[in-house]
Amino acid sequence: MSQYATDEYLLSILERRIKADQKGSKIRKKIAVGIKQIKGIFGELIKLKFDSKGLVHHCSKTGVTLIIPEGAVQQPATAWFGVCPFSTKFKFGDYIPITPIVWVYIDQKLTKPAELYLPHNINIGTTTKNLFVHLTASDQNFLEKGKFLFTCSNVKMEVDSEMFKTYCDHFCSHCVAMEKNAYQGTQKHYMIAMAEKQQDETTFVDFCCFPCQIGCKQLVMKQYKDEDFAISNLKSIMFDDEGSLSVAFDPDSVPGWERDHNGFCTGEIFESEVDYFKVMGCEPGNVNKENIEMLQMMEEVLSYPPRFRYTFSCLNSFVALDTTKVKAIFSGTSKPLQINYHLFGITVGLNEGYLRGLDKDYPTCQERFNQVFYKWSQSHPNTFKWKTVIEVLRSDTIKATSVAELVIEHLSSNE
């Protein structure tokens, strides 16, 4: 069970963290001012109650997980949790953060270390693990200087391809970072999302490239939801040494179809256009208010994250139905990547996201078969071709291969 922190409670816990001396009243005033700033940085802080059974709290927005093991406390206790990707109030010195920054307070001393799991987008396979450092910053420095000043700690840390795991028996602000020079030469993971929207005989298809972070994924999903797009495919990529991404289609020209650019045409997406620190025009981790406002403005007008935008228009449905799949082939990735796009969905008025999501509501392939062809009969009743039906059923679009075999058997028996 969780709830948000009140200013009064935050005031009391910060007072416990900072031992007041003769200037106690002045420190208290600083704390009162700092409360609003801390909430402004980390958002609403979550109150988490737990007991000797321990606690597991996962932040779905950032992917950070806090685990307090069983037996870490003997009496009921309370933890307070906040997390954010960056802020104007953080100073990292010669380091660049590669995880979200987490703020945690627990009102009891732990007898067993708690665990923090921090997601990252660094290609661990080519990176020496000793390049990573654990950074912490105290509340006292923040209240005295108005900044969280991060320094290296000796906290135990483990690393894998997606997460850093740290152990803590005391709490403050935490993150994992790299030295600036090491960060610049490190490969990072990114995502490509395919999104689409159907309008009459035209489907709008986007390929959006964004940092491999949960917060970025949620941003892209919201952008497309607001525009009535459905995301139908997600792929993980890394840029190659050239640092630019392009896309081609196979076949390039399809009878019955017209492909065009949707709005502003871009032939390449550069890695520097995906890295939001470079887009903001600042050093990673060291942002100001103007940097953040510029990024938010770009997000609002869909110029960030960058994307390839296309339209597929069905000019002749009878001819178009003979082609059910187009490959989007990407160049500039560390490994070959292609996304198969099923034009079948466009011709029958069903988008790819709808087709791929059918198995959530229709568990058997027979049910999916019935649903798809019912929809088809309602929108385009005169465009049935059994050749196309078989190709669609055999594809992974609606996961109904076994039904395809039954249809083939039925057609063969009635020849």
Tokens 């270390």 correspond to 113
- Mean pLDDT of the region 4-17: 57
Which residues are CB-contacts of 294 (< 8 A; sequence separation ≥ 6)? 280, 281
**Above 60 in pLDDT, residue 3?**
no
Q: Does residue 130 contact residue 182 with C-beta atoms inside 8 Å? A: no
C-alpha to C-alpha distance for 268 and 235, rounded to whole angstroms: 18
Percent of the chain surpassing pLDDT 90: 25
Q: Which residues contact 122 (CB under 8 A, 6 or more apart)?
A: 98, 178, 186, 187, 188, 189
Domains and CATH numbers, the chain: 2-184 (2.60.220.30), 190-340 (2.60.40), 357-413 (no CATH)
* 23 against 147, higher pLDDT: 147
Q: Integer distance in angstroms from the first to the last C-alpha of the chain?
A: 64
Q: 35-75, pLDDT tens digit by residue?
A: 667 777 887 788 899 999 999 999 888 889 999 999 999 99
* 269 three-state secondary structure: strand
pLDDT of 160 strictly over 50 = yes
Q: Which distant-in-sequence residues (6+ apart) come within 8 Å of 283 by Cβ?
A: 96, 180, 277
Helical residues (DSSP H) of 199-306, grouped into ranges: 214-226, 271-274, 276-280, 289-300
pLDDT at 396 over 80: no
pLDDT in tens, 306-323: 999 998 887 776 666 555
- pLDDT in the model for residue 141: 78
CA distance 331 to 104: 43
Based on its alpha-carbon atoms, the radius of gyration of the chain, rounded to whole angstroms, reads: 26
Q: How confident is the model at residue 11 (pLDDT cuts 50, 70, 90)?
A: low
Q: Distance (Å, rounded) from C-alpha 14 to C-alpha 118? A: 24
Looking at residue 415, its pLDDT comes to: 47
CB proximity list for 235: less than 8 A, separation 6 or greater: 191, 192, 337, 339
Collapse the DSSP code of 23 into the 3-class scheme (helix H, G, I; strand E, B; otherwise coil) and give the result.
Answer: coil
Tell me the C-alpha to C-alpha distance, in Å, between residue 344 and each of 253, 325, 354, 387, 392. Answer: 16, 7, 12, 12, 7
The amino acid occupying position 210 is F
Sheet of 337-342: strands edge to edge? Answer: 269-270, 244-250, 325-331, 337-342
Q: What pLDDT digit, counting tens, does each position of 324-336 carry? A: 678 889 999 988 8
